Amino acid sequence: MGWKSSLIIIENKENFTDENEILNALGKSDYEFDRELTLDECIYPNDKSINIGYFNGNIVISDDYQITTNSLERADKLNLTKEEKNLVELFPTSEIVTVACHSAVNYHGYSVIENGIKKRLKIISSDEPRIEFGERIKEENEIYERSYTKDNKNFWKDDADPEEDFTEDQLMEDFTFGVAKRRIGILLDHSDGDELMEKVIFKKFKSPNQTSEVEELIKTEKKAKWIKYGIIILILIIWQILKRTVFKN
């Protein structure tokens, strides 16, 4: 399975359930409730939605890379982004874990905020070197301990084929879901993740002004059709003008 996901997992000490406040913190105050669904249906929504559920003492947010991209790829070292600062105001003593991955380029990244301070950040992909700040966390160390170093890079032996090695980006699922387990207590890419993936109800929120990909496609096709008609009409007009002037003489 090719995984595409981006999650913000917030320790929910006070049983917080005000989704509107969460949306405000994420800069999505205009978003409105759309429908209920499972994480399996919204882990990669691809519709610029925000999906919020509650599991094992945590708030789980599937954000379609909208917030996590800023928190990870565009991060300024361990400085908090605007959205992270807003979340910290809502949850000042909670641990906030952000994870994201995309199998097309073996990209994975994650960060950990504790008591309002970002303690850890790492991102890597198949075409980019590893970038990391802060001390490695326990969940990472458990994976790195199985590796060996060659040419200043980490490699992992393939149990099925001792002659083959895995590079760090190829362990995308191990790192992404291993770090997520720090908060949710289960591995999403294993059978113990079925409960969260298939049974927990999430609420989808979308911008009322946002059109779907299908609607955008229809608009594009209509626009292309009218451009085509416009060109044909223009050619006919020019032809009529030429007939009355150039060819008549």
Residue 150 located in a structural domain: no
Q: What is the pLDDT of residue 218?
A: 47
- Does pTM surpass 0.85? no
Helices of type H across the chain: 19-25, 39-42, 68-71, 82-90, 138-144, 172-184, 194, 213-244
Please indicate, yes or no, whether residues 10 and 118 belong to a single structural domain of this protein.
yes
Task: Specify whether 175 is located in the same domain as 246.
Answer: no
pLDDT in tens, the chain (249 residues): 589 999 999 999 999 999 999 999 999 999 999 999 999 999 999 999 999 999 999 999 999 999 999 999 999 999 999 999 999 999 999 999 999 999 999 999 999 999 999 999 999 999 999 999 999 999 999 999 999 999 889 999 988 888 889 999 999 999 999 999 999 999 999 999 999 999 999 999 999 987 554 455 445 555 666 676 667 777 777 767 766 776 555
Residues 193 and 236 both lie in one domain: no
Asked whether residue 157 is assigned to any structural domain, the reply reads no
Assess if residue 45 is contained within a domain: yes
pLDDT value, residue 220:
55
Domain boundaries, position 249: 216-249
pLDDT at 214: 44
**What pLDDT is attached to residue 66?**
97
Distance from C-alpha of 2 to C-alpha of 126, rounded to nearest angstrom: 15
Cα gap 220→222, rounded to integer Å: 5
Task: Clarify whether residues 176 and 247 are in a common domain.
Answer: no
Question: What DSSP letter does each residue of 117-141 carry, written as one string?
Answer: EEEEEEEEETTEEEEEEEPPPHHHH
Residues 98 and 5: beta-carbon distance below 8 Å? no
Query: How many residues are recorded in the chain?
Result: 249
d(C-alpha 182, C-alpha 185), whole Å: 6
